[in-house]
Amino acid sequence: MEKDILNVSDLNVYYRNKQNLMSRIRGNSERSLQHVLKNVSFSMKKGEVLGLVGESGCGKTSLAKAILGMQKQYDGEIMLDCPNPQMVFQDPYSSLNPAKKIGWILEEPLRMRARMDKGKEKDRLSRAERQEKVDRMLGRVGLDVKLKEHYPAELSGGQRQRVAIAAALLCGTDFLIADEPVSALDVTIQAQIIRLLLKLHKELGISILFISHDLRVVYQMCDRVIIMKNGEILEQGKVEEIYGNPSTDYTRLLLEAANL
């Protein structure tokens, strides 16, 4: 049996409410915090693809940020057995530096890793080795190496998302959070990116937390699914079981809206 790569226990996430500035000035800290995730608990096995479903504002991205260490205002426990987790965002254009060419963007994670590994000269890659690794990854995500000389604005939405996926994988992560990675793409390109993610999952054995509001996409991608509403988990389990026999009215409504 595969070990867990992620365990989340009794997680509560809070955001500061800017509208309650006077409350904070008066020392009323309870009123200045918005409780966005409430007692969230789940686990993921290594090599699993887990879907996270819910309407906009239900806390999906807040959960992702907490897992990645981008959100510090929380209590509970997050145990992630991966030193280098990565995230692929919904809008690839906003996550890629528009002033840099694709080759530079893809080399940057490797340059950053070299700076972090300062003192470990034997592990550092030369410029030629970095470029070779970038070329291999471009091939793996289905892109021509000639695109290294292009800027993000010169690529299609699907090509930009492939670049974003390549950048996330270049440093050898075992855990990827894909936050609505296909919702900004048309249906044909969505299918291509889903096939690519499943191919990479099979080839590299990576675990993927797949965040979406589209139950059809989750059905194609995921082994298990978590249904969230208003910052709470309503139900979780194998995709076939949840879709075939939902235990909450909310899940039934989602499935009906998706014609499933």
Question: What is the helix (H) or strand (E) element at residue 225, kind and residue range?
Answer: strand 224-229
- Supply the pLDDT for residue 20: 52
pLDDT (tens place) for every residue of the chain, 260 residues total: 579 999 999 999 998 766 555 555 555 555 567 899 999 999 999 999 999 999 888 999 999 999 999 888 899 999 999 988 999 988 877 889 999 999 999 998 888 776 665 555 555 778 898 999 999 999 999 999 999 999 999 999 999 999 999 999 998 899 999 999 988 888 899 999 999 999 999 999 999 999 998 899 999 999 999 999 999 999 999 999 999 999 999 999 999 998 88
- Supply the pLDDT for residue 113: 72
- Supply the pLDDT for residue 171: 80
- Supply the pLDDT for residue 103: 96
Q: Where are the domains of the chain?
A: 1-85+174-260, 95-172
Helix/strand/coil for 45: strand
- Using CA atoms, how far residue 196 sits from 141, 162, 167, 183, 200, in Å, is 7, 8, 14, 15, 6
Surface-to-core class of residue 213, CB atoms within 10 Å of its CB (0-12 exposed, 13-18 middle, 19+ buried): middle
- Supply the pLDDT for residue 215: 93
Question: What is the helix (H) or strand (E) element at residue 58, kind and residue range?
Answer: none
Handedness of CA 230, 235, 239, 242 (dihedral sign): negative
Q: Are 131 and 59 in contact (CB under 8 A)?
A: no
Pick from 42, 160, 148: nearest CA to 95: 160
- Supply the pLDDT for residue 127: 85
Surface-to-core class of residue 38, CB atoms within 10 Å of its CB (0-12 exposed, 13-18 middle, 19+ buried): middle
Q: What are residue 85's phi and psi, to 5 degrees?
A: -65, 150
State the fold for domain 1-85+174-260. Rossmann fold (3.40.50)
Q: How many CB atoms lie within 10 A of CB 102?
A: 27
End-to-end CA distance of the chain: 31
Q: What are residue 127's phi and psi, to 5 degrees?
A: -60, -40
